[in-house]
Amino acid sequence: TAKAFTKMLKDRKINLILDLSDIDTKFVSDLIFDYGKASYICLGFSTASFFPLGEALNLWIDERKKAPKPKMPHIFFTGMNPGTVNAWAAIGMKKFGVPKEITEFEYDTSRFMKHHKEKMVTWCVPEFVVELVTDPAEIILGDHKIKSMYPNGLFYTEDLEPLFSPIWKLAKYPKGCVVTHEECITLSNKLDIPSRFIYTVNQETMDFIRKTYEEKGMIEDKDLVLGNNTTDPLTGSDNIALRLDYHDKAVYYFNSTANEDLKECSGTDYQVCVGVYAALFTLLTGDLKPGIHYTEDLLDTLFPKFLTDNMMIQEFVFEKAKDGSLKQISHNPHINYGKGEFIKI
């Protein structure tokens, strides 16, 4: 309850809260703001409302603009995406300027190394179901401009070959589902440009999801299992890219994290952990001003350096021809940002 949570904060003199839950974000953050003596790190926006993510998040953002400024510094929506990819966008924009459009896309090829009849994903199953099936597909067109497409992202897909092929060669590229993420909303609100996210996982799981949805008209949490690379080893990788489109060029940032390179941790979990630890280090060692901070606004802090020290982030720059084709003009296989000693997670 609110009373018990507030009492715990006061009794234990809590000064930092890391929220990995799917508890209503507005409920928890209001209590923390009222307490006024703790910083809050929130991985993603959770809501008890029936509004889809884009609408619900914008309502909260507008409400916070009218509310008193929090007394402590807080970092909202950090992990991999949202979180790390927002910083990629900020790094790219500092170097190349504000793009016409931002496209984020992810292909998680992770699967069990040994055959299982169950179909798996590498992230929170209930949140995966909400993102892909419960909520409608949403494309962010600009500041508080959202195009909602019903019933969900399974019905609105894009071919990932034109997006991935310039930076990642595959024998065959899947289609990805149009879904909504916090980073698309905060970046589009700030820049007033279009932003969208295209997402897919291993194709055996996606085929199962489509077939089950056709048969039942829904996907339930029990239909899927979590693959975390602990008791059951995983193969494959989580591959996430961000493309900044300009009139004369396209700039990519890309990370691929393989499950087989990690022990007791999936590629997905590692990517998220880097963004979480970057936020923790930023709050603990930095001098953030009181208020709500999104990760795209943290370039002058430790946050981007921590990311580039702990994650192989590639940068590709392509020149655009008149026919739309791309010619690579530069590639940095591991970008660095910031100065100082190397920081290891």
What pLDDT, on the 0 to 100 scale, is given for residue 281? 96
Whether 74 shows a pLDDT value over 80: the answer reads yes
Whether 286 shows a pLDDT value over 80: the answer reads no
Report pLDDT digits (tens) over 116-142: 888 999 999 999 999 999 999 999 999
Whether 102 shows a pLDDT value over 90: the answer reads yes
- Token pair, residue 291, equals 């208020």
For residues 128 and 224, the answer to whether their CB atoms sit within 8 Å is yes
What pLDDT, on the 0 to 100 scale, is given for residue 48? 86
> What span, in angstroms and rounded, lies between the C-alpha atoms of 104 and 135?
18
> What span, in angstroms and rounded, lies between the C-alpha atoms of 193 and 238?
27
Mean pLDDT of 260-266: 95
Whether 49 shows a pLDDT value over 90: the answer reads no
Mean pLDDT of 164-181: 97
Report pLDDT digits (tens) over 31-48: 999 999 999 999 999 998
Whether 104 shows a pLDDT value over 90: the answer reads yes
Q: What's 261's DSSP letter?
A: G
Residue length, the chain?
345
Q: What is the average pLDDT score of the chain? A: 96
Confidence (pTM): 0.96
